[in-house]
Amino acid sequence: MFFWDALPDYQELTEGAVVVGTPKDFAIAVFGLVVMQSAYWYARSLQPQVRFRHRVLLGHVLLCVSEVSFFFVSALATVAMFDHWRRSQFVFWKLMLLASALFAFFCYKHQLASVGDALLETQPEDAGKATIEPKGTGKP
């Protein structure tokens, strides 16, 4: 949903246009950041308890989506920060909102990557199926 909403702004920013957000846009952004961070930290506490079945393709897809999503947000922040910094005056709360958004999307990327990694891991019950154990070695 973020990408669908932010892609036109990204295209305008890269073409040199000035994109001005309304107070409603900033309120929605703050609400979205609070929801993202709340969900991330709650899921982080549940992570040791959750186990997934071994799914290689889905794990790789989640790893790819996590990397691409953070790349897009980083590119958008870079364009907003460096290309348009000289055009506008320094506004501390906008800089903090940008830094908060980067951190929230880093957490989102990390969560997707950890789920992708968990899907790629061999589960303990599957571990014995892929290995050959010697029998009759004489050890008790």
**CA atoms 45, 49, 55, 56: torsion sign:** positive
Look-up: residue for tokens 């929230």?
Answer: 104
Helix-strand-coil percent breakdown of the chain, rounded to 5? 70, 0, 30
CA gap 85, 21 in Å, rounded: 15
Distance in angstroms (rounded) separating the CA atoms of residues 70 and 102: 8
Find the helix or strand (DSSP H, E) in which 39 lies: helix 23-46
Domain-by-domain residue ranges, the chain?
61-123
Question: CA distances (Å), 82 to each of 2, 20, 27, 122, in order?
Answer: 21, 16, 24, 44
The whole-number pLDDT of residue 131 equals 41
Q: What is the pTM (predicted TM-score) of this model?
A: 0.66
What local confidence, expressed as pLDDT, does residue 106 receive?
A: 92
Q: Quick one: pLDDT at residue 27?
A: 86
Residue by residue, pLDDT tens for the chain (140 residues) are 555 555 565 555 555 556 666 778 788 888 989 998 999 999 888 877 767 788 889 989 989 999 888 888 888 788 777 766 666 666 777 788 888 989 999 999 999 888 888 888 866 555 445 444 445 444 44
